[in-house]
Structure 1
Amino acid sequence: MPGASEARRNQGFCTLLEQAKYSETKFAHAVNRLGLEVGLELNYRQPSVSQWKQGSQPKPQVRAVIIAVLERRLGRPVTYAEAGWERPASDPGGSRRDTVESLINLGKEDMDPSRRKLLTAGLYSAALTVPAFSALVSQAHADDRDRLARPTGRIGRGEVETVRRMTDKVADILDDLGGGHARPMAAAFLVNTVAGYLRADATAAVHRDMLSAASDLTYLTGWMAMYERAHGLGQTYYLHALDLARESGDKLTYCRTLRGMSLQASHLRYGRKALEYADSAAEAAPQAGPRLVAFLRGQQAHASAMVGDHRGAVTRLNEAERALSQADSRRDAVGGYDQAAFLFHVSHVHYESRNLAASISSLRSSIRVMSPSERQGRMHARAVLAQRQFEYGHVEESCVTWGRFLDDYEVLSTARGDEHFDTLRNLIMPRTSSVVRDLRERTHEVAKRKAA
């Protein structure tokens, strides 16, 4: 019979360590390094990892770090149950508190500069599962009557329109100046205005419309957090957007948020999770116009290409193109999809299939048809194009594109732009070309101005 210590052994965690090919010492170092990324000063050594293997449970906040280390190493989701641990109550996939209370707390922390750094360092969970819209919405409608009595006044259609117009304005600021300026405004409006509206007395119809409008704004706030590389925060906002959407019965925002979650997963290179979210978004989609169909099929194409399903990716691209050709000229400010976005997806599919030349050509076309007001999207697209040109060996063309990226980067406040700028500064280019030298000089000057 096994001894007591052998019986307590956490076989799940031991198996994960073996799969990740980590020694106990190297794993402790990896946990300490990731802890620094999220503001935790950890000093674990080999004995701690040995204790975890023998059944000791790490602190709740450390469990999340350990799961993230394993996910990064294995390139797949890892659940707490798989690691033999209890899920921390603070984890985004755990039990939810009251939606409005939780959204207020999240927004207040996002508004507070002293808290924002820790908040934005939260970890993304690749193991998160999202219930189907149909499994949730019936209960939400059954509870409508219980939510109507509020002690904070009464609202009508005018307040709903205020939230929707503010969401459009924030989207415009995002395009023009970047998420670094737009997201704090969105968080402040959620806390100071929208939360009160959600608690106010209203007819059932107005309350549902307000939930829907709040869901749209929360989705946009999550999108900005994702774009600012605060992926754990973005995921949390997305979860709140899903809650609000299902409570209002808004299938459009629900599927749009799932599509945003797919985009986030694809950016973090979780291909299967990206496809899962993209397919779930398509399943949740209401009967709507062709632009929505194109919006969803484009993301399904990208995710399919990531998992090696080239035939499926091409099929989805063709469906997106047909749908987009049937769409009218109107484009939503939030979550809009147009020819530039479609061509960006075409480029991604080519890139995942290792057809660099076609990927570069599609990206050029995407940038060419972008609206002049889409400075944020154009900056990102140019940085991606420059990196792919460099990868293809077209160094001087890459330098020219990087220069155009800098034109937008100098006037935008965006962590995504900072990430691209760091990539540019770390590129090793031959110094024999005057084009390369000119770009290096300009990059140095921009870095000094940004640091000032």
Structure 2
Amino acid sequence: MTKIPNEALQRLYRETNWTLSQFARAVNLVASENGTPLKSNPSTVHHWLGGTLPQNEAVRRCVIEAISRRLQRPVTHAEAGFPLPSDPSPASTDTVEGMIELGRQDMDPSRRAVLGAGLFSVALTIPGWQDVIGRAEAVQAGRMSRIGMNEVEMVIAMTERISDLDDQFGGRHARPMAASFMVNTVAPYLRADAADDVRKAMLSAASDLAYLTGYMAVDEGVHGLAQRYYVKALELAGAADDHLTYCTTLRGMSVQAVDLRHGAKAMELADAAAAASPKAGPRMFAFLAGQQAHAAAQTGDRATALRKIREAESSMERAESRSRAFGSYDPSSLNYHVSQVRYELGDVAGSIEAMRQSDQLRYGVYRRARVRHRATLAERQLELGHLEAACATWHTALDDFPMVQSGRADDRIKAMFGLIRPHIKNATVRDLYERARTVAPPSLVA
């Protein structure tokens, strides 16, 4: 039977101005980013254009996301000539209902694979402050008993506890706990009767929890899910008139984007966070400017990157007390941004020195960050040919690795195996390799 060419996909293909090879590479990149590598090639793309439907929904999502990124606008399944997905994302017209649905699915182990299929979208529409503050009316009082500030304080305390667990042990086990708390406790509170000040405080606390849950989804590498949590956090922050959490969430979205190498999107989000924080104190300003510097460096804007990192350093100096960090933003975090800016601008040696400073200043509770950043430091030491120094640093990362359940930490250890394998005849490398095999799961020993 003769296939009918997919004219809709062909139109999009012409609009991208790609070659068949470029199309295939773009789709493979999206798939790899989502942890499901594909081996599409020019022949594969030729068959898609000729009417062959990509093999499953996950591949079709990758094709659509790749085109969306190229065209810098959302592209739908119908526009690409594909059938609608059987499991579309839940609607977000009602902030609380959307949060309940998202959290309920995240609690269910049988749904984790479906949630993980969501892709990070560069074309995602981010609601602006004026958009989200108008959504407060969507959060209406329900019929449960009246709540007060005691319930708000409990939600804040529980979120802090979950955050502490995430910092120490990674988000793999803490995120289902956060989702369950969100659905079973926080959502009913949002529907309860309350005084206006209590309602706003509860919305703000819920926003912070949604942001944290999104951050833990990033840690596990489920980036589409993380974006959905982040958008909920923005909506709740707007309903609470909470500029601080709104800005913090935008900055978190920028961190996600820059780590995925979407520099332009990261810069857009970092700038939006800074613009939405009209009364930032010096520590908050450093928190935002450091991220702007990293994103600018990744886009190749050297002048802006250096200016923003100087502003971050100056603001940190003016902060009232270095012992009172804004969230986790402290001198260690600032040195991390200095390291990232230097690395993006080609100063590998300088980035190593700043990363060492960051490691020395990091508080002991941040175990997951210690694993990730020490492994990154080792990668850069190896890049300069300092093999034995890199091995020594990787050993320090392995000290904490068994206690951390984190997709990002796993990625760094998996990368380590790939980087040291060509040097396996070296005794120092062999010692590291043998030790790592005893603490890393077999799936990471590439």
TM-score by length of 2: 0.87
Please show how residues 232-311 of structure 1 align to structure 2 within 5 Å.
232-311=224-303
Alignment CA distance shift 1:115-1:131 (3 Å):
closer
Q: Is 1:134 paired with 2:130?
A: yes
Separation in 2, partners of 1:16, 1:424:
40
Letter in 2 for 1:165: A
Letter in 1 for 2:193: D
Letter in 2 for 1:251: H
Separation in 2, partners of 1:46, 1:293:
50
Separation in 1, partners of 2:205, 2:287:
20
- Match 1:205 to one of 194, 197, 205: 197
**1:68 match:** 65
What does the per-residue CA deviation read over 1:66-124, in whole Å, with 9 as the maximum and x for residues that have no partner?
1234468x5x84521799459979766x9623111111111111111111132123211
Separation in 2, partners of 1:64, 1:29:
9
What does the per-residue CA deviation read over 1:163-182, in whole Å, with 9 as the maximum and x for residues that have no partner?
11111111111111211122
Letter in 1 for 2:12: F
Alignment CA distance shift 1:32-1:81 (3 Å):
closer
Q: Contact 2:27 / 2:62 at 8 angstroms: preserved in 1? A: no
Q: CA deviation at 1:64?
A: 2.7
- Match 1:105 to one of 79, 96, 101: 101
Alignment CA distance shift 1:317-1:157 (3 Å):
same
* Other structure's SS at 2:440 match: helix
**1:80 match:** 75
What does the per-residue CA deviation read over 1:233-257, in whole Å, with 9 as the maximum and x for residues that have no partner?
1111101101111111111100100
Alignment CA distance shift 1:400-1:232 (3 Å):
same
Q: Contact 1:148 / 1:207 at 8 angstroms: preserved in 2? A: no
* Other structure's SS at 2:125 match: coil
Separation in 1, partners of 2:344, 2:269:
18
Q: CA deviation at 1:47?
A: 4.4
Q: Is 1:445 paired with 2:444?
A: no
Separation in 2, partners of 1:159, 1:102:
22
Q: Contact 2:48 / 2:54 at 8 angstroms: preserved in 1? A: no
Separation in 2, partners of 1:180, 1:400:
27
Unaligned runs of 5+ in 2: none
Alignment CA distance shift 1:36-1:205 (3 Å):
closer
Q: Is 1:214 paired with 2:206?
A: yes
**1:120 match:** 116
Separation in 2, partners of 1:259, 1:290:
16
Q: CA deviation at 1:270?
A: 0.4
Q: Give the fraction of aligned pairs with identical amino acids, expressed as a percent.
A: 42
* Other structure's SS at 1:417 match: helix
What does the per-residue CA deviation read over 1:155-207, in whole Å, with 9 as the maximum and x for residues that have no partner?
11111111111111111111112111221111111011001101111112211
Letter in 2 for 1:300: Q
Alignment CA distance shift 1:124-1:449 (3 Å):
closer
Letter in 2 for 1:343: N
Q: CA deviation at 1:286?
A: 4.0
What does the per-residue CA deviation read over 1:199-233, in whole Å, with 9 as the maximum and x for residues that have no partner?
11111221111111000011011011101111111
What does the per-residue CA deviation read over 1:275-321, in whole Å, with 9 as the maximum and x for residues that have no partner?
00000000111413211111000000000111111111111111111
Separation in 2, partners of 1:272, 1:220:
24
Root mean square deviation, CA, Å: 3.5
Separation in 1, partners of 2:47, 2:375:
44
Q: Contact 1:297 / 1:316 at 8 angstroms: preserved in 2? A: yes
Q: Is 1:405 paired with 2:419?
A: no
Separation in 2, partners of 1:60, 1:51:
15
Separation in 2, partners of 1:368, 1:214:
34
What does the per-residue CA deviation read over 1:22-75, in whole Å, with 9 as the maximum and x for residues that have no partner?
499x589959977995699x9x885443238xxx99998765321234468x5x
**2:12 match:** 13
Separation in 2, partners of 1:122, 1:155:
35
Q: Contact 1:313 / 1:349 at 8 angstroms: preserved in 2? A: yes
**1:385 match:** 377
Letter in 1 for 2:92: R
Q: CA deviation at 1:149?
A: 3.0
Separation in 2, partners of 1:339, 1:188:
34
**1:51 match:** 51
Q: Contact 2:8 / 2:80 at 8 angstroms: preserved in 1? A: no
**1:152 match:** 144
Separation in 2, partners of 1:429, 1:392:
15
Q: Contact 1:20 / 1:70 at 8 angstroms: preserved in 2? A: no
Unaligned runs of 5+ in 1: none
Separation in 2, partners of 1:118, 1:334:
35
- Match 1:356 to one of 348, 372, 375: 348
What does the per-residue CA deviation read over 1:320-344, in whole Å, with 9 as the maximum and x for residues that have no partner?
1111112233778884310000000
Separation in 1, partners of 2:369, 2:6:
55
